[in-house]
Amino acid sequence: MVFVIVFVCYGNTLSAGFVQDDHIVILQDLSLRSLSQAYKIFSLPYWGNAENGAYRPLTSLSFALNYAIGGLNPFGYHLGNLLLHALNCCLIGLIVWKYRPKWMTALVTMLLFAIHPIHTEAVSQLVGRTELLSTFLMLVAWLAWLSAQRHRSAYILSLGCSLSALFVKESAIVFIGVLVLSEGCAAGRQWRTQLRSHLPQLAGFFMVACGYLVVRVLVLKQFGASLNYTMFRDAPLTTRLFTMNLGFVRYFELLVWPTRFCSDYDFSVIPLQTTLSVKVLLSAVCVLGVLATGIGLLWRNRLCAGAILFFFVTISIVSNIALPTGILIAERVLYFPSIGVCVLAAYGLERLSTQGSAAKAMAWSGLTMLVLLGGWQTWQRNFAWKDDRAWILALTMDAPNNPKGVMALAALRAQEGNPGEAEKLFRHAIELAPDRGSPYEALGNFYLSQARPAEARPLFEKALRIQPRLTSAHIGLGRVFARTGNLQQAVSEYQIGLSGKSPKANELAEYGVLLSQTGNLDGALEAFTRSLSLQPEVAETQSNLGLVLKKLGRIDEALVHLRQAVRLEPDNPTGYVTLGTTLLSARQPAAAAETFAKAISLKPDFAEAHNNLGVAFMQLNQPENARHEFETALHLNPQSESAQRNLEKLQPKPKG
């Protein structure tokens, strides 16, 4: 039944595509394209950038499995998310049954978790799999833990699943707290004795977590996210505490009355709080009141106490209180913590159903209403994650003053061919966030796309004054200098931009072109090679690398890359001409002639291809064919000095 309900609520996601972060994590990560090379995933940061502090190799491996089965068809990825969500519902029901063997409590918890609208981001967006898969592994580990006292193999399974959950998402470290909380609540007033007796087993989970942290630091070369990638950056602890009180209240609202959604919470949604205002104080009273209620119930109703405290334990690592994170708040991180509110609601309905026939009818009516309303709300919210356009429109409607949403809408309008509206929106984003570098950078990139480099330059410089470590702005500034002919300055900016982050393939390719233009062939060779290691299926980069190798006299290696370029773009006549001229250099005129003929078949009026085909015929000692090609080239391009010289070489020498 649960599987049916999940597929009813989330069936419309099966036709959705890749949205926002899915492009970076799935589409642009070429390490996912081969299971035989999957071991490399464990040496790479998530997002392709170590500075954001994410190391999630098992999540990436799950996407690699999806690719091996169905390539880049998003249906299979979405189906995997739905199946994981349905399995999690079932596991939650089993765990609830272990603590309260009442079928109604377990069943209702499963149903409410299945339909809760707060889960749409985790289930509908493919990168939400971090929440789904880590929750699945923690739930299996939890179930195994409950049998660990009788079966040592169950304890080993629990340790293994908890470690795997960490390699799915770092926030799974809260599982240690979940075990401590569950054992303490189950023991009641004997909690100290209970925890003391389980201390050796719990120590195993601490050891597992420490092992994970060691691996994480070795790969990322850092413990957490760099300050530049955190939401609060250099803000003091008091600012984080004041602001997150408002964030926690919003979390409560989303869990209890999920109607006001937002796919990107920033300070335009939850304002930064630097002082203890009345609003902050009231929020703190609310948060502390809920926490005190959970603690107070420990001696009267351990199930409800555990359900309330479960939220605080599981949200702790992403709360920005213990350490700053890359998010303010996010709906997806409520996936695991929401179990607590589902248990509370299920317990309340179960207790109500025992108060007589009228109360029982009321309980079942309430459950029916919750399932229908929640399922409908979930179905509707899924459309916000259908594609990038739907996501942008939903974000700008939910949070009209969110600079990220405004910039995304501006980019959308530019793609739709409305540059005037796009420019207005980019400028509005600057007005909304004048103290951030990214809006200035975004407008600068827009001006570059509109061939307005002079207007782009001061915007990139402004972005760097605000955020000196915004390395992508150095790349933008490098593009400005390249467009205006200042190649040496462009190279310098690219060097700064590429040194401070994990470079993108296209940025390395652009850098290689600049180095080649300035005569630094060895540097260009390295840049193109690095670019292709990240994204090998780019014909232009393959061709550029081939040309550099040709200039270095490494003709055989050049031919390998030039042939790969025409394989990647078989309809590009220029690629065949480049390959053909290199074949001539390798003294392979017959192969060159075939290649030039292919270019001409694709573009009959390609004067350069006709001229080069004539050269190949000359080397093949076919003067009449050569003459025909040179004359054709001159007919197509009368200004071709090369074709004119070649034709003159074929004229018979005067006698005497």
**Mean pLDDT lowest among 137-151, 212-226, 299-313, 557-571:** 212-226
Please say whether the beta carbons of 63 and 35 come within 8 A.
Answer: no
Degrees to nearest 5, angle at CA 598 with 592 and 602: 145
587 within a domain of the structure (yes/no): yes
CA–CA gap between residue 259 and residue 252 (Å, rounded): 12
The residue type found at 272 is L
The total number of structural domains that make up the chain: 2
pLDDT of residue 292: 97
608 within a domain of the structure (yes/no): yes
Mean pLDDT calculated for residue range 55-67: 95
| Res 195 pLDDT > 90 | no
518 within a domain of the structure (yes/no): no
Angular region, 587: left φ>0, alpha ψ -120 to 50, beta rest: left
SS3 category, 233: coil
Among 334, 352, 381, give the residue marking a domain's end.
381
Confidence of residue 479 (pLDDT cuts 50, 70, 90): very high
pLDDT of residue 470: 86
Mean pLDDT calculated for residue range 294-312: 94
Among 342, 366, 381, give the residue marking a domain's end.
381
Confidence of residue 655 (pLDDT cuts 50, 70, 90): low
What would the pLDDT profile of 72-111 be if each residue is shown by its tens digit? Answer: 999 999 999 999 999 999 999 999 999 999 999 999 999 9
| Res 14 pLDDT > 90 | yes
Confidence of residue 378 (pLDDT cuts 50, 70, 90): very high
| Res 193 pLDDT > 90 | no
390 within a domain of the structure (yes/no): no
Which of 252, 5, 13 is CA-nearest to residue 122?
13
376 within a domain of the structure (yes/no): yes
Q: For residue 394, which phi and psi values (nearest 5 degrees)?
A: -65, -45
pTM over 0.75: yes
609 within a domain of the structure (yes/no): yes
pLDDT of residue 229: 76
| Res 305 pLDDT > 60 | yes
**Mean pLDDT lowest among 45-54, 199-208, 361-370:** 45-54
More confident residue, 78 or 502: 78
Question: Mean pLDDT score of the chain, rounded to an integer?
Answer: 93
CA–CA gap between residue 609 and residue 387 (Å, rounded): 43
pLDDT of residue 454: 95
Among 381, 416, 449, give the residue marking a domain's end.
381
What would the pLDDT profile of 392-446 be if each residue is shown by its tens digit? Answer: 999 999 999 999 999 999 999 999 999 999 999 999 999 999 999 999 999 999 9
Which of 302, 24, 321 is CA-nearest to residue 185?
302
135 within a domain of the structure (yes/no): yes
| DSSP single-letter state for residue 502 | -
Mean pLDDT calculated for residue range 137-151: 92
| Res 512 pLDDT > 60 | yes
The enclosing domain of 653 has a CATH number of 1.25.40.10
Note down the domain range covering 347: 2-381
pLDDT of residue 180: 94
pLDDT of residue 149: 77
What would the pLDDT profile of 148-187 be if each residue is shown by its tens digit? Answer: 878 889 999 999 999 999 999 999 999 999 999 999 898 7
97 within a domain of the structure (yes/no): yes
Residue 284 structure tokens: 């703190």
Confidence of residue 52 (pLDDT cuts 50, 70, 90): confident
pLDDT of residue 656: 45
